[in-house]
Amino acid sequence: MPDRSLSESLFARAKRHIPGGVNSPVRAFRNVDGDPFFINHAKGCRIRDVDGNEMIDYVGTWGPAILGHAPAPVVEAVREAALEGLSFGTPNPLEVEMADLICEWVPSVEKVRMVNSGTEATMSALRLARGFTSRDRVIKFEGCYHGHVDSMLVAAGSGALTHGKPDSAGVPKAFADTTICLPFNDQEAVEKVFTEEGEKIAAIILEPIPANAGLIFPQQGFLQFLRDITKKYGALLIFDEVMTGFRVAKGGVQEHVGITPDLTALGKVIGGGLPVGAFGGRADIMDQLAPDGPVYQAGTLSGNPLAMAAGLAQLRELERTDAWNKLEQLGTVFEAGVHETLAKTGKNYTFNRIGSMFCLFFTDKEIKNLDDAKTADFEAFKKYFSSCLENGVYFAPSQFETGFISTAHSEADIAKTAEVATKALAGL
C-alpha cells in the first residue's frame, strides 16, 4: 500500500477552509469510498503525488492533456506569453489567431467567442439559442452533462413530456421547468415532445458522444434525426463538444459523423491545461451577441493571452505531428489489451472506445443510455479502481467518467497498465 501520509495531512487542512476539502466534487473520491491524493508534479503520461508516488495517468486533467502533461511546446508558449503580461483587459492578437483556427477546423463554426470554462460556454450558447429563437424550452438528455448551469442540473421525470426537477439545491423549479430531459438514443420520445410542444422549443443540447456517464455512442441515425427535427421545427441543435472537440478528430464529432450543428461548445483541449472555453456557430446566430446584438455575454478574462498561447501551441502541435492518427493507433493497442485482459479473467464487461477516449463498464449490458450505464457493478468498480491505484495506474474515480489516452503514452505504458488491470480484475 503506497504511503500517502502527506496527502492525508493536506486533505485534513483543506477540509478546514474548502467545502469538502476540494474545489470540484469528483476530486473528493467519495464515489470510490476514499480520500484524494495531492499532485505536485506531472510530466508526459505520469503524475507524482506529494508523497512521491508515481502513477500512469488516464485522467489527463479530465481531457485537456492530449499531448500529455507539460508538453514542451505548450510550456514554452506560456512562458513567452507570460513575459509580455498575464492579462490585458483589452483585445490581444492571440484571440484572433485562436478564432481563425477554430473557424478553420470546426465545420459548423463561422464565428466564435472565447470564455473561461465549459460551463460558461454551454450557458452562453443556451442563452443565445433562446434569444435567437425567442423561445424558452430546451431539450437535454439523461447522462449528458453541460456544466453546472442552473437549467441543466435536472433529472428526468416519468414520461417523455415530464419536465425536469432540480438536481441540486439552489436551483429554482422555474429554471428546471424550462428543461425537458429525455433518454439518450430515444427518437420516439424526442418526436413526441416536438409534436406536442415544438413551437416552444429553442434548442436541443447534447454531447454528440456522451462522455460524462462513461462513454455512450449514438445509435445509427440518431444524430441525423436530431438535425432533421430541429430544422423542421425551427429549433437549434447545439453540440457540447467540450470533451470531444479536437480529441476524437481535428474537427470534433461533427467532422467524424458529418453532421453540422447550429452552435458548438468547446473547451478542454483548446486551453492546453489552462482555464478556457468557447462557443461558436452560424454567423447569423452569433451576431445576436452583444455588442452587435441584444444577447448579453461578457468575461473579464475571456481570451486570456496565456490560455490562448497554450491552446494555440497545443493545437498546432497536434496538427504538426498528425496526433489523431497516433492516438487512434494507441487506442487500438489499448482496446486489444482490454479485451485480452477481460478474456484472461473471465469477465464479460462492456468496453467502449473512440480514438483516445474509453470506458470500461462493469456490466455485460450494451450501453445505449444512462439507465444501461447504471446497471454497472459499482462495488466491483471500486475494488478495481483501488487495486489499480495501489499498483501505479490512475483511472478516474467514478464509473461514470471517461478515460483519456495521450500522445505521451507508449505501448510499454499500455502493456504495464494491462498487467495491473489483469491483477485487479482477477482479484474481484
Residue type, 147: G
Tell me if residue 100 is catalytic.
Answer: no
User: Rounded CA gap, 104 and 121, in Å?
Assistant: 19
Q: In 10 A of CB 154, how many CB atoms?
A: 25
User: Rounded CA gap, 20 and 16, in Å?
Assistant: 9
Tell me if residue 262 is catalytic.
Answer: no
* Per annotation, catalytic residue among 111, 140, 250, 268: 268
- 366 closest CA partner among 185, 240, 142, 158: 185
Angle made by CA atoms 269, 54, 68, in degrees to the nearest 5: 20
CB 184 within 8 A of CB 369: yes
Residue type, 247: R
Buried b (16+ CB within 10 A) or exposed e, 211-232: bbbbbbbbeeebbebbbebbee
Tell me if residue 140 is catalytic.
Answer: no
* Per annotation, catalytic residue among 240, 262, 372, 413: 240
154 CB-side CA count, 13 A: 26
- 360 to each of 227, 293, 382, 384, 403, how far by Cα in Å? 30, 45, 13, 11, 9
Q: Show the cell assigned to 376.
A: 454497472
Buried b (16+ CB within 10 A) or exposed e, 303-331: bbbbbbbbbbbbbebbeeeebbebbbebb
User: Rounded CA gap, 216 and 155, in Å?
Assistant: 18
* Per annotation, catalytic residue among 57, 58, 145, 394: 145
* β-bridge mates for residue 403, sequence order: 358
Residue type, 415: A
Residue type, 323: A
* β-bridge mates for residue 205, sequence order: 238
Active site residues: 145, 240, 268
